[in-house]
Each structure stands twice: as structure tokens, then as C-alpha cells.
Amino acid sequence: MSVHYEVRGACAVIALDNPPVNSFGYQLRMDVMEAIDRVEADSAVKAVVLTGSGRAFSGGADITEFSAG
């Protein structure tokens, strides 16, 4: 998983972990959705924090996924 998931009290913390800039590529998007599914399944969670690990939240999309044609 390229995200870290932790519950602190009633808050789920989802931290992006895709060095060096947490680019939002396909796998990271799928991992975030999996973490959101975990949130939805846990009735004790009342809030969610989405954050980035390291120095950045996210540097943006993964440009290697764009087609040149």
C-alpha cells in the first residue's frame, strides 16, 4: 500500500506515501480508495484527515500516465 492508515480516536488519518513527491498515480489512487472503504466500514470513525508523508501533500498527477497521442 502506498498510503498509511491509522485511526486516532474517532479520526482516520490517511497519509500518502509515494516518494519523492507523492504523485497521484493509479496505484496511489486505488490505495486511497481502499482506505476510504475502511473508513466507511468503521462506524467509530467520524472524521478523516488526508495528508502527505514527507515534505509534500502531493506534487500532482503522475505524468507518466499521460499518453502522447
pLDDT digits (tens, 9 = 90+) for 5-50: 999 999 999 999 988 888 899 999 999 999 999 999 999 999 999 9
Cis link prior to 20 (omega < 30° from 0)?
A: yes
Residue 32: per-residue pLDDT: 96
CA distances from 60 to 6, 15, 24, 52, 55 (A): 23, 15, 6, 12, 14
Distance CA 33, CA 35 (A): 5
pLDDT band for 56, please (50, 70, 90 cuts): confident
CA angle 37, 43, 49 (to 5 degrees): 60
Full-model pTM: 0.86
